[in-house]
């Protein structure tokens, strides 16, 4: 069995064997999205202001170099499909990037609908993220436990509420650990208390109760989120290209939907680009030229308006992330997505 280095301070766990641990395990380059480390043993300091909001992701090397910057906050936004039987908060407690807060995708959500993890109200979002200790001045880096999955949803949420200085960690926790960087465990930490406080704040807002002082002010960007009526109108008006991030069999209606009571198929006029096709084998976002080629193959023009959807509004945000890399920062996400559309009796449904 390979021996593992365990640092008692901060309960940090080095996920590499002792025999393999050399200075080569520490990557210390400046920010260069999706690029491998070009130098070793050099500790550089880079201002977060040098990171462009035109680029939606940052590399694990960049985060490692900037992790202790005072205005950077890291969010673990892991979320999994119900059939995966994975518990994100438990996994967070076992291992997370040092100092990361836990952002509960299912918890920081609209409490007035039965649809899963829908966008909360402005007041509820502000109360929740304030409870997490997030301020408008903060630069946010969001990651998840799959590589690049639910983190894109939280990236989109912050942008909907007017916070543009937010990036997704390319490759997420798996890429971080594969690069030999420390993780920490915390069975009962301040971050867990903050996550609970955020959930309580959401509950209070929806019950009309007073919440604590706000450190985060929202500025709602309505063009980034669509409702079912806008999607219905778009079938007729065709003002926006509608891109569906679900798998081709689900899009074609060839298989049953994972949630009961949901019809199979797709919104008439929409096109299918499964979200996984925008990622490489290490779950990092493809380079811009490859992304552009992938969208163009399905007849999607980066020059024309677009709206994305999926099953419950999570992986649609990966499509928005990819289009953002191509310079489209105004992509809307249909929040209710197929779980809402497929459950209605009066919505039009196409199959292949």
Q: Which of 12, 34, 272, 310 is catalytic?
A: 310
Question: Is 310 considered catalytic here?
Answer: yes
Exposed/middle/buried for 349, CB within 10 Å: 0-12, 13-18, 19+?
Answer: middle
352 vs 270: CA distance, rounded Å:
12
| Number of Cβ atoms within 10 Å of the Cβ of 265 | 22
- In degrees, rounded to 5, the angle at the alpha carbon of residue 244 between the alpha carbons of residues 243 and 248 is 125
112 vs 137: CA distance, rounded Å:
30
The tokens for 11 are 């309960």
Does the CA dihedral 284-178-138-49 come out positive or negative? negative
220 vs 215: CA distance, rounded Å:
16
The tokens for 89 are 């908060």
Query: Which are the contacts of 94, defined by CB distance < 8 A and separation ≥ 6?
Result: 185
301 vs 66: CA distance, rounded Å:
36
Name beta bridge partners: 103.
none
Residues with catalytic annotation?
Answer: 310
């Amino acid at each position: 069995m390979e021996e593992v280095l365990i640092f008692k301070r901060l309960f940090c766990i080095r996920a590499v064997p002792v025999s393999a641990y050399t200075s080569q395990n520490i990557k210390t380059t400046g920010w260069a999205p999706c690029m491998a480390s070009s130098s070793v043993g050099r500790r550089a300091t880079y201002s977060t202001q040098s990171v462009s909001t035109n680029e939606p992701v940052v590399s694990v090397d960049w985060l490692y170099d900037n992790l202790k910057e005072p205005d950077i906050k890291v969010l673990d936004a892991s979320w999994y499909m119900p059939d995966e039987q994975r518990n994100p908060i438990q996994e967070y407690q076992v291992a997370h990037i040092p100092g990361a807060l836990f952002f509960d995708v299912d918890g920081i959500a609209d409490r007035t609908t039965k649809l899963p993890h829908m966008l909360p109200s402005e007041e509820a979002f502000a109360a929740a993220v304030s409870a997490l200790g997030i301020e408008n001045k903060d630069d946010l880096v969001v990651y998840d436990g799959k590589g690049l999955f639910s983190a894109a949803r939280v990236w989109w949420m912050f942008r909907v509420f007017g916070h543009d200085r937010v990036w997704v960690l390319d490759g997420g926790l798996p890429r971080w650990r594969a690069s030999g960087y420390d993780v920490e465990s915390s069975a009962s930490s301040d971050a867990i208390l903050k996550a609970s406080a955020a959930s309580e704040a959401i509950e209070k807002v929806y019950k009309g109760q007073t919440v604590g002082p706000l450190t985060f002010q929202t500025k709602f960007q309505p063009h980034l989120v669509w409702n079912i009526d806008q999607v219905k109108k778009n079938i007729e008006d065709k003002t926006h290209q509608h891109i569906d991030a679900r798998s081709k069999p689900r899009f074609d209606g060839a298989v049953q939907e994972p949630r009961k009571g949901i019809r199979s198929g797709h919104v008439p006029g929409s096109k299918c680009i499964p979200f996984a096709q925008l990622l490489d084998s290490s779950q990092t976002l493809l380079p811009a030229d490859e992304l552009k080629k992938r969208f163009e193959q399905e007849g999607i023009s980066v020059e024309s308006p677009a709206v994305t959807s999926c099953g419950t509004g999570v992986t649609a945000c990966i499509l928005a992330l990819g289009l953002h890399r191509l310079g489209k920062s105004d992509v809307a996400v249909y929040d209710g997505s197929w779980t809402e559309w497929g459950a209605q009796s009066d919505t039009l449904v196409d199959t292949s």
